[in-house]
Structure 1
């Protein structure tokens, strides 16, 4: 397995620029890329929340790829922010954004385009607004047969275009949208029916929800053999009897509820040996310190534990 730093954790470094609006300069990027290389990551997973690649010219993108090459880092994947393709006012714009993302992935040499079919949050939200949103999260069963058919058709067109330049789509397990559980990820995968489309079993996305949901182990086992890209992070979760809802809190992969030693072992048994994007550190505090610890933990599992377990 190869490990990537998820640049979504760097979004706070764009302050005071609004999220999704800034393109870090080469000088801005250099210390982060050097740190990533020195800490043993194999590449980056590029999020548009950190770098607004939609505003970059092809020449700018080629220069960025050259900078990555200079640090001996791959861009393994592009991770555009939540892109609902049906039942949302921005559905058409999101489809155009994903098609442009295929072009960007091709220039940067990224093999994967992550697709999160979830409703976006506003760039700025109060705590009260965020709490209210948690009571109205969309779920897979909220979508009609016509919605599923339309989403599949749009993704078939995207996959066919991506195949021309050897780019694969990875449908992400993600709350607040049509792929909030593994059964829906596999349903859409079957409807799309393209060889260059797989799934991304981002377990924390499915686990952190405030309502009862599937066991994360069941979700991983269901999706493991269909995985082509894997986002990893963790949280703790407990039931609040006073509200009848579950409350989650971001946590390190070592301390969170998801047992990543078990998860890596299950993925290994399923034959997965691809890119893993570490998304830890997106909460308050120093994200680089958090992701460094989780990278070391995850790397030790891949390097040391699998050498024993995989015999």
Structure 2
């Protein structure tokens, strides 16, 4: 499950480490969406990424939708990125659940188009999940994870539909040589370690694995599973990994919980231990540096340096 067909052996200098797009506004000051922006705007994005030392980026469809770019714009995107020495290595389809009420079939068709676009762009991973658009309460909250969003129903037929549609996407991804990674996220069928693992096993395809983004769960203002146990259960199925961290505190009697974003090194999750365990279990997928709030790009760069210190040294070093 962890084989991503990347060149091996990987080390601190060759392991693919991408940056997220959270540090860039999805809509510019002039009201133009980044997806539709002029080439000079894209040039600035990739220029900033390169100046921070990143050579890879994840295309989040909240910012740029590869499926909705025509062939000339896709080529323009690649050309601008390459000019800065940056490679788009993954696409992340978010909040477009294939079981979203009233939109599941439409989202499924969009995901299929995204897989084709990812293959055309030469990306290495198709990433998605089952989380849905923000609720009004989430849009109003300082941190969206402190408010209640959509919840996947405890219903066998709906879960079976999720398995069926995700398997369909996985088979499509396999046909174009792409691994598919499913992001863990609260209140979905990927919202607990046991449920996420069971979903991967129900889909039953070698190219479909987990994005064990336990940070999505550590930040919740509610009781959570032990982060060590969640990693132990999910890392054997990991083929792509969004990494981020949060401080977390809670009252012993469960009357309050709090969390805020921080660097990988300072948060609750001990990534030194978890990265070592992942490698021991055979993880060989790309990492994605993710950060909410503050200077997202700067923290991602700090986190990349920290992560590289945890990865194997180059042979002969």
TM range (shorter): 0.7 to 0.9
- Look up the match of 2:273: 262
Is the 8 Å Cα contact of residues 9 and 279 (structure 1) preserved in structure 2? no
Is contact 1:236-1:257 (8 Å) kept? yes
Q: Helix, strand or coil for the counterpart of 2:25? A: helix
Distance 2:308 2:85 in 1: 18
Residue 302 of structure 1 aligns with which residue? 311
| Count of residues in Structure 1 that have an aligned counterpart in Structure 2 | 300
Q: Which moved more, 1:33-42 or 1:176-185?
A: 33-42
Deviation readout 1:77-134 (Å, 9 max, x if unpaired): 1012222222523222221221111012112111211112112115982239958x72
The 1:159–1:297 alpha-carbon spacing in structure 2 relative to 1, beyond 3 Å, is: same
Shift, 1:21, TM fit: 7.0
Q: Which consecutive residues of structure 2, in runs of 5 or more, have no partner in the other structure?
A: 1-14
Q: Please, which runs of 5 or more residues in structure 1 have no aligned partner?
A: none
Matching residue of 2:96? 83
Tell me the distance in 2 between the aligned counterparts of 1:56 and 1:119: 23
Secondary structure at 2:97 match in 1? coil
Instruction: Identify the range of structure 1 (54-63 vs 248-257) with the bigger mean alpha-carbon deviation.
Output: 54-63
Is the counterpart of residue 105 in structure 1 residue 125 in structure 2? Answer: no
Aligned equivalent of 1:287, options 296, 301, 314: 296
After superposition, the Cα gap between the structure-2 partners of 1:257 and 1:109, relative to the gap in structure 1 and judged at 3 Å, is: same
Per the normalisation by structure 1, the TM-score is 0.86
CA distance in 2, matches of 1:127, 1:242: 25
Matched, 1:43 2:52: no
Give the match for residue 165 of structure 1: 176
Higher mean Cα deviation, 35-44 or 291-300?
35-44
Aligned to 2:39: 26
After superposition, the CA RMSD in angstroms is: 2.7
Structure-1 separation of matches of 2:143 and 2:81: 38
More helix by share: 1
Establish whether residue 207 from structure 1 lines up as the match of residue 221 from structure 2.
no
Q: Distance in 2 between matches of 1:41 and 1:262?
A: 24
Separation in 2, partners of 1:15, 1:254: 34
Matched, 1:8 2:19: no
State the partner residue of 1:229.
Answer: 240
**What are the residue-to-residue correspondences of 1:62-77 with 2, within 5 Å?**
62-77=75-90
Question: Structure 1 residue 203: deviation in Å?
Answer: 1.3
Structure 2 distance, partners of 1:201, 1:184, is 12
8 A contact 1:23–1:53 mirrored in 2: no
SS in 1 for 2:110: helix
Deviation at 1:39, TM superposition (A): 3.0
Residues 46 and 78 in structure 1, CA contact (< 8 A), matched pair in contact too: yes
Closer/same/farther in 2, CA of residues 86 and 233 from structure 1, 3 Å limit: same
Equivalent of 2:203 in 192, 206, 213: 192
SS of residue paired to 1:8? coil
Secondary structure of the structure 2 residue equivalent to 1:7: coil
Distance 1:11 1:240, change over 3 A: farther
Q: Which has the higher contact order (CA 8 A, sep 6+)?
A: 2
